[in-house]
Structure 1
Amino acid sequence: MARMHTRRRGSSDSDKPAADEPPEWSDVDADAVEDRVVELAEQGHSPSEIGVILRDEGVQGTPVPDVSLVTDKKVTEILDEHDTEPEIPEDLYNLLDRAVRLHDHMDENPTDYQNKRALQNTEAKIRRLMDYYRGDKIDEDFSYSPDIARELL
């Protein structure tokens, strides 16, 4: 798939092996995994951080290779069931964070035209994502501005 804001093509990544059930060495209880996911979310971790922590540390000493294989639910679905889902989706949050950092950089370096273009591209992605999430994950009347983004973070 081509990239959004350049003329180059994207690079291909390796895929995880297709599996219908967890590996033999990972015999973790689904309820224990769900409890650990909720616990990590309450500590303030994002869904992707939760997946990395479960992969590295595991539950009860056993690593969890893929939460969806063990529980038949994604991390965000588990968080949604337990009402611990973040206020804004993680991808939108990361873009808002990047926009705030780029705005701070542009305030200090007003002639950095390359980062000015990066800021324009990031804000365009934010607006597209907001249209996608509007009404479902974020309010209908929510609009992007650098000041609002700074307050949300």
Structure 2
Amino acid sequence: MHTGRRGSSGSDNPTADEPPEWSDVDDDAVEERVVELAEQGHDPSQIGQKLRDEGVKGTPVPDVKLATGKKVTEILDDNDAGNDLPEDLRNLLARAVRLNEHVDENPQDHQNKRALQNTESKVRRLVDYYRGDALDEDFKYTYERAKELL
């Protein structure tokens, strides 16, 4: 988005309608494990990785949505265990706060000033996307507000 490079192509998940035979985990057990990991402070992406790597009772879960019919964030919302901010917005706010503190300490660091401008631009776009749904209608990004939220 903010570079002249071409970017990298990612891989797509294989299309599947049902979980593989070797992963026959009960969907209630998966939901319990998701809530347990969320209470330990893990983000939804980290929960998916832990379920893929560690699994539930030793059996890996390759795809939570195939196993339960719900995404990790939907499971967290159903059990009131989710965060108040979406994960991508929270990560960008944390980066903006770190960059802002760095630029305050190092005013001649022009490269990171530019990185801060780009990050804040991304934050504003995401705030516009989430406004009214996951965020209040009158939510505006400021450094102080971001620091307060984190």
TM-score of the superposed pair, with normalisation by structure 2: 0.95
Match of residue 140 from structure 2: 143
| Mapped partners of 1:99, 1:126: distance in 2 | 8
The answer as to 2:122 corresponding to 1:125 is yes
Which position in structure 2 is the counterpart of 1:33? 30
CA offsets, 1:76-114, max 9 Å, x none?
111111121210000000000000110111112111111
**What is the aligned length?**
150
Q: Which amino acid aligns with 1:40?
A: L
Stretches of structure 1 that go unaligned for 5 or more consecutive residues are none
Q: Give the CA deviation at 1:5.
A: 1.1
- In the other structure, the counterpart of 1:81 is 78
**Matched residue type, 1:19:** A
How far off its partner does 1:16 sit?
A: 2.1
2:63 maps to 66
Write the letter of the residue equivalent to 1:147. Answer: E
AA paired with 1:80?
D
Pick aligned residue for 1:107 from 96, 104, 109: 104
Q: Residue 24 of structure 1 aligns to a residue in which SS?
A: coil
- Over the aligned positions, Cα root-mean-square deviation in angstroms equals 1.0
Q: Percent identity?
A: 74
Q: Are 1:93 and 2:90 counterparts? A: yes
2:54 corresponds in structure 1 to 57
TM-score normalized by the length of structure 1: 0.93
Aligned equivalents of 2:11, 2:123: Cα separation in 1: 27
1:11 and 2:8 equivalent?
Answer: yes
